[in-house]
């Protein structure tokens, strides 16, 4: 895997603990930023955790020490005395490895020596290629029979085989940066340079990424520069003062989350975060970062009542320092890896999130489409009779679908905190819910935008996600769940092989409504088109009715042939299908002079490919490939 600029954002080489030789003695050099500290010392097993044994020397705002005779995996902390005289013991902000909770000390670790084997891995082009992400929490994808975690290396082998076979292109990992509390899922971390030791060592995590790449799977990390936890050993009031966080009480804390906010106005804090981002891309060959809680960074009044936030110097609510930081973050990421995926979880209508900084944008290349997700979750929960009054939930997303480069996310956030599982959002009995799940997923795969689905949906998971246990793999003992998993596998591979579904995702040239306004029948019909003009028609029925001879206007072809159907009996469906090619008739419909009449299954989706009339320039051999879904 080739990377770009190897010189920028390398503070992790200056700070932290690194093996070094001085005056012929092998040891470790420690360096930490603590500008307001009265004194700092290194404490660890090697000196009996004695704060007076190994004092550090002040160098401007940093503190440094060299300690000979130490070994990899030795534990240590910094004993920091603030200006008020209070001593706190802190983990190393730049540590590469850490004790496993409940331990909170850092561990010495030399990152060098791992032999990467992903040299043939080349990140895919983003915009005109398929992108289908499987979101994973490593601690609960699978567990050992005794409830213990899988390690990175076991996960690498099993997860890469599974994801590749299921037809996903990437995995996105809930944060693996070191964190003290399992229940935080990693979103309140203490180690911005340390993959969590819950699953193994740094070299083990390198193996995980390496294995994914060798199986053709990209790796995206959730990364959290918006806030950090208040655990005593972490960044919280690191030198006895507000060091990494804002000093202004109106900017310092997210009370609802119980966390502190990074001070983006401090050069050292910005360099710490930029260095962390570059570190994962460079040292661990990570393909992308999904930046969590971007909205909380952009707005000074985010989740704060009137009078409890400080305006910027123009009197506005925009956090100008955070905006500058996000632009610098994306510049840094693209300098390290020009094909990086920089994804914003931004839940508001902030403009130009995926536009370059030079054009006034934030510089991301992808944004989660939270509006689409909220509309669809609302729609899917409705009794089918009442869906006719909420048809805009299906269609409104196309009003802004090309304003940004979007990912359609159905993430972990939608299946926790009493929200139920994805299949559990659907109406009816379990068989009906599985029908609805198949129809929705097909609609999602056909809608413009890249895709993300949280683990477990493909099993027809009954329960909402529980981070403390494995997915309900036992469901695969049942035929209906095996069929659901097979549907997801086939739908994903169908998506991968149908260029009209992903090649033109960013403008109207790749999409056309055929039926947008049939709210009474809960039906939407549209087509997707690739750069060569090849089209796939998608008809989705969100009602329990089977529609015979459902007519709609189409473009001028000889006939249309069904190429995928969510109601296939192989998936547990009832078998409502279009077994023979459907001739185009010169019957006007929906503003077109010709039309077809099809069968649409209940709660199902059907895909069609048009076949050209004789004498067209498209060869019969190409038509044959189209019928097989190969192009």
Residues known to be catalytic = 292, 345
Task: Sort strands 523-529 and 511-518 into parallel, antiparallel or unpaired.
Answer: antiparallel
Q: Are 379 and 394 in contact (CB under 8 A)?
A: yes
Cα distance between residue 495 and residue 480, in whole Å = 22
Provide the phi-psi class of 245: left if phi over 0, else alpha when psi is between -120 and 50, else beta: beta
Of residues 225, 222, 230, 292, the one with CA closest to residue 259: 230
Token digits of residue 402: 């090309």
E strand residue ranges, 433-534:
450-454, 511-518, 523-529
Token digits of residue 418: 């009493």
- φ, ψ at 441 (rounded to 5°): -65, -40
Say which DSSP state 400 is in: T
Helix (H) / strand (E) containing 14:
helix 11-14
Which residues fall within 8 angstroms of residue 427, CB to CB, at 6 or more apart?
A: 381, 382, 383, 384, 433, 436
CA 512 to chain centre: 28
Cα distance between residue 603 and residue 589, in whole Å = 23
Cα distance between residue 622 and residue 499, in whole Å = 14
Cα distance between residue 617 and residue 368, in whole Å = 40
User: What per-residue string of b and e applies to 8-30 under the rule 16 or more CB within 10 Å gives b?
Assistant: ebebbeebbbbeeeeeeeebbbb
Query: Would you list the DSSP string of 590-620?
Result: TTBS-EEEEEE-TT-EEEEEEEPPTTSSS-H
> 124: how many CB neighbours lie within 10 A of its CB?
15
Token digits of residue 262: 């990074």
Is the N-terminal amide bond of 395 cis, ω within 30° of 0? Answer: no
Token digits of residue 407: 């990912």
């Amino acid at each position: 895997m080739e990377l770009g600029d190897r010189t920028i954002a390398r503070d992790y080489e200056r700070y932290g603990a690194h093996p070094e030789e001085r005056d012929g003695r092998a040891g470790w050099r420690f360096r930490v930023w603590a500008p307001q500290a009265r004194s700092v010392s290194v404490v660890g097993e090697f000196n009996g955790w004695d704060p007076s044994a190994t004092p550090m020397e002040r160098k401007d705002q940093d503190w440094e020490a060299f300690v000979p005779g130490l070994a990899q995996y030795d534990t240590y902390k910094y004993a920091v005395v603030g200006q008020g005289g209070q001593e706190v013991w802190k983990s190393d902000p730049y540590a590469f490895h850490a004790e496993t909770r409940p331990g909170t000390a850092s561990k010495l670790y030399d990152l060098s020596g791992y032999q990467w084997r992903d040299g043939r891995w080349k990140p895919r082009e983003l915009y005109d290629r398929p992108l289908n992400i499987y979101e994973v929490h490593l601690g609960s994808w699978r567990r050992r029979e005794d409830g213990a975690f899988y390690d990175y290396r076991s996960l690498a082998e099993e997860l890469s085989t599974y994801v590749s076979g299921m037809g996903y292109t990437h995995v996105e990992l809930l944060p693996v940066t070191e964190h003290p509390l399992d229940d935080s899922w990693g979103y309140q971390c203490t180690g911005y340079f340390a993959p969590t030791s819950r699953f193994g060592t740094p070299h083990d995590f390198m193996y995980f990424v390496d294995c994914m790449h060798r199986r053709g799977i990209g790796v995206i990390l959730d990364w959290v520069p918006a806030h950090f936890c208040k655990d005593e050993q972490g960044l919280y009031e690191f030198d006895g003062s507000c060091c990494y966080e804002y000093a202004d009480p109106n900017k310092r804390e997210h009370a609802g989350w119980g966390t502190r906010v990074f001070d983006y106005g401090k050069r050292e804090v910005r360099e710490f975060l930029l260095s962390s981002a570059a570190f994962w891309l460079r040292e661990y060959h990570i393909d992308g970062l999904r930046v969590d809680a971007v909205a909380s960074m952009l707005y000074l009044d985010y989740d704060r009542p009137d009078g409890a936030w400080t305006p910027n110097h123009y009197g506005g609510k925009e956090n100008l320092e955070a905006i500058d930081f996000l632009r610098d973050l994306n510049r840094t990421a693209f300098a390290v890896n020009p094909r990086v995926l920089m994804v914003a979880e931004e839940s508001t209508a902030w403009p130009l999130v995926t536009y370059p900084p030079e054009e006034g944008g934030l510089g991301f290349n992808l944004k989660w489409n939270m509006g689409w997700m909220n509309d669809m979750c609302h729609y899917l929960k409705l009794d089918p009779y009442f869906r006719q009054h909420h048809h805009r939930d299906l269609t409104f997303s196309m009003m802004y679908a090309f304003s940004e480069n979007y990912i359609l996310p159905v993430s972990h956030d939608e299946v926790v905190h009493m929200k139920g599982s994805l299949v559990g959002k659907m109406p009816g009995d379990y068989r009906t819910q599985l029908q609805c799940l198949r129809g929705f997923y097909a609609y999602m795969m056909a809608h413009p935008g890249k895709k993300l689905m949280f683990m477990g949906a493909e099993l027809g998971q009954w329960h909402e996600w529980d981070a403390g246990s494995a997915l309900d793999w036992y469901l695969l003992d049942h035929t209906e769940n095996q069929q659901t998993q097979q549907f997801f596998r086939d739908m994903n591979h169908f998506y991968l092989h149908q260029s009209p579904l992903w090649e033109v995702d960013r403008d109207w040239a790749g999409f056309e409504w055929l039926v947008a306004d049939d709210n009474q029948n809960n039906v939407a019909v549209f087509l997707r088109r690739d750069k060569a003009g090849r089209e796939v028609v998608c008809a989705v029925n969100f009602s329990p009715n089977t529609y015979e001879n459902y007519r709609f206007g189409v473009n001028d072809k000889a006939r249309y042939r069904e190429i995928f159907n969510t109601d296939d009996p192989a998936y547990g469906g009832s078998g409502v299908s279009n077994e023979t090619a459907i001739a185009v008739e010169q019957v006007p419909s929906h503003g077109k002079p010709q039309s077809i009449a099809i069968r649409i299954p209940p709660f199902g989706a059907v895909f069609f490919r048009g076949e050209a009339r004789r004498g067209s320039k498209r060869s019969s051999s190409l038509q044959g490939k189209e019928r097989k879904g190969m192009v």
